[in-house]
């Protein structure tokens, strides 16, 4: 699905139609998705959740004709004789709907959304209760934009940037922001913060953190067993935050022989640049199946971690 072939107005109308229909869907891990879809009774979609949540093939009479028409107009309908399939998924967090890539996600420019997104948004919401309203915020590697959109909704006077190097992600983030009514979100191309000017009061990110053999951008976190990109984000944020500004980072870290190498790497930087910082494990064991993969031979577990760091004034 090329970003150039999507009609964003039609996709917006599709999202609005799904919301009017009461659509709700929680996206699960790929392993759970495969298991559920592998049940014989789930070979074909029979409703909107099957079409847009579970990414199952469907026949035209399974859903309302106007939905099929909007999919076709938006350029997100794959048609092969009587076998139809959505080229996007739609997930919900509370009352908000987010378009992202259909399952399975094998493309280089796939737009990720999953259980980590829910943990990220939940942690972000808790932190925003104690944040001073930012004037300027940026979500690095924003994907479909849930982090940026949550910030923009909480702080409507803030200039909020959803930054990514993936054009498909930027397109979907723009549509998702319009769906959420957050006009203060702008989707901007940037490699980390290199293509953006100025300083920020708030930098947030939920980057890729898996050591992926295919180095797919939405999964691969680079060296340090996938923590390399997270380290770059910490460094970029500390350089570009205004005095008193805050970094909020959700990521996954490989724990080796009981040691957190990422924390060991960032601690000197945080102590040198920050007036206060907090680092915690949100979930001690995620992506357990990844431990069977090359590069994880010495890893005990992968932990979901959260960092809040405030730059010294």
**How do residues 110-133 score in pLDDT, each as one tens digit?**
999 999 999 999 999 999 999 999
Q: Could you tell me if residue 110 is inside a domain?
A: no
Rounded to 5 degrees, what are φ and ψ at 66? -65, -30
- pLDDT of amino acid 231: 96
Same domain (yes/no): 50, 133:
no
pLDDT of residue 86: 98
Q: Is the pLDDT of residue 1 over 60?
A: no
Cβ-contact 99, 143 below 8 angstroms: no
Residues 188 and 86 grouped into a single domain: no
Of 101, 132, 149, the residue at which a domain comes to its end is: 101
Are residues 304 and 208 part of one domain?
A: yes
CA atoms of 176 and 202, how far apart (whole Å): 21
Render pLDDT for 148-179 as a digit per residue (tens, 0 to 9).
999 999 999 999 999 999 999 999 999 999 99
Q: Is residue 106 part of a domain?
A: no
Mean pLDDT over the full length of the chain: 95
**pLDDT tens, 210-220?**
887 777 776 67
Q: Are residues 268 and 132 in the same domain?
A: yes
pLDDT at 44: 98
Asked if residue 107 is part of any domain, the answer here is no
Let me know whether 223 and 274 are in one domain: yes
Q: Is residue 108 part of a domain?
A: no
The answer to whether residue 2 scores a pLDDT higher than 70 is no
**Cα Rg of the chain (Å, integer):** 20
Judge whether residue 4 has pLDDT over 70: no
Q: In CATH, what number is assigned to the domain containing residue 152?
A: 3.40.50.150
Q: How confident is the model at residue 32 (pLDDT cuts 50, 70, 90)?
A: very high
Boundary-marking domain end, from 101, 129, 147? 101
Tally the domains of the chain.
Answer: 2
In this structure, the answer to whether residues 75 and 124 fall within a common structural domain is: no
Last residue in a domain, options 77, 101, 125? 101
Which residues constitute the domain of residue 163? 115-311
pLDDT at 3: 63
CA 266 to chain centre: 23
């Amino acid at each position: 699905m090329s970003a150039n072939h999507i009609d964003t107005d039609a996709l917006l109308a599709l999202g609005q139609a799904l919301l009017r229909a009461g659509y709700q869907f929680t996206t699960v891990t790929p392993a759970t998705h495969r298991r559920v879809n592998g049940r014989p009774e789930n070979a074909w979609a029979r409703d909107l959740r099957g079409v847009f949540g579970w990414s199952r093939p469907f026949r035209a009479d399974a859903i309302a004709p106007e939905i099929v028409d909007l999919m076709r107009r938006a350029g997100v309908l794959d048609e092969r004789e009587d076998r139809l399939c959505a080229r996007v998924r739609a997930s919900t967090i509370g009352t908000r709907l987010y378009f992202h890539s259909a399952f399975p996600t094998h493309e280089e420019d796939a737009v990720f959304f999953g259980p980590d997104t829910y943990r990220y948004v939940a942690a972000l919401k808790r932190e925003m209760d104690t944040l001073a309203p930012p004037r300027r915020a940026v979500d690095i590697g924003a994907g479909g934009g849930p982090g940026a959109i949550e910030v923009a909704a909480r702080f409507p006077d803030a200039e909020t940037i959803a930054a990514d190097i993936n054009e498909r992600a930027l397109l979907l983030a723009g549509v998702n922001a319009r769906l959420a009514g957050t006009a203060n979100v702008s989707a901007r191309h940037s490699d980390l913060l290199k293509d953006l000017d100025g300083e920020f009061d708030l930098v947030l990110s939920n980057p890729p953190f898996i050591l992926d053999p295919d180095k797919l951008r939405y999964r691969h976190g680079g060296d340090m067993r996938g923590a390399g990109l997270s380290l770059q984000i910490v460094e970029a944020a500390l350089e570009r935050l205004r005095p008193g500004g805050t970094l909020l980072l959700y990521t996954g870290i490989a724990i080796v022989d009981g040691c957190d190498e990422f924390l060991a790497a960032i601690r000197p930087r945080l102590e040198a640049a920050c007036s206060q910082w907090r680092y915690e494990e949100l979930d001690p064991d995620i992506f357990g199946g990844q431990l069977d993969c090359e590069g994880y031979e010495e890893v005990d577990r992968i932990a979901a971690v959260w960092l809040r760091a405030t730059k010294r004034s």
